[in-house]
Amino acid sequence: MDMDYSTLFFLLQERRSCRSFQPGQSLEPDEVMMIIKAGQQAPNPLNQQPWSFVVITSPEARKKLRQAGEQAKQAVLEQGGPGWVGGFSIDFMEEAPLVIAVVVDPRKGGLGEYFNQPLGSVQAGSACMQNMMLAATTLGFGTLWFTFFDPAAVKLILSIPDDHEIIGLLFVGKASGEIPSSRRRDPVIYADSFGVEYDQG
């Protein structure tokens, strides 16, 4: 298969965080599986593949997740968090026709635990999430990786075991309107040692 950097970079730029979805849309089962199978191709420690997925499509479940999101907003405000959170719309939590919870088993994190690096499963789950978003983008869908919630509340809603971790909720659907692009800062790169400026040419 012929591949080139420009095609890949275009895809990476096209993936943007979507917070408004068209109503009345749905995904075909094969589209859902294409997204999940892309996630499974992510690198992971010792090929333990620590991830599992909860596919959420029912209006009832999405409404409960929305309620958990509203509770998270209130908790932030009560703890003195930024005021803009109060006006942050989470309507997308019910608009998106598909939500996929990416869950990992921390016991499948490779050998990092022997070196005080216990995050192998989380890192693998994050790579999995990125793959899924890129796959959804190629299928013409907008996505949002969402972590603004109390994990305990979402675990209760989705019956996720306490000893598992939620990497995030992936909202998927047809974007409503143009998704604005975001400016990327210049990369911070060091040469051989942290703090030594790298000559970018």
- Domains observed in the chain: 21-173 (3.40.109.10)
pLDDT at 6: 94
pLDDT at 116: 85
118 falls in which pLDDT band (50, 70, 90)? confident
Give long-range contacts, CB 8 A cutoff, 24+ apart: 178-186. Answer: 179/16, 179/17, 179/18, 179/142, 180/16, 181/13, 181/16, 182/16, 182/17
Distance of CA 109 to the CA centre of its chain: 19
201 falls in which pLDDT band (50, 70, 90)? confident
Alpha helix (H) residue ranges in 96-192:
120-138, 151-158
pLDDT digits (tens, 9 = 90+) for 156-191: 999 999 999 999 999 999 999 888 888 889 999 999
Whether pTM exceeds 0.75: yes
For the cut 80, the answer to whether the pLDDT of residue 72 exceeds it is yes
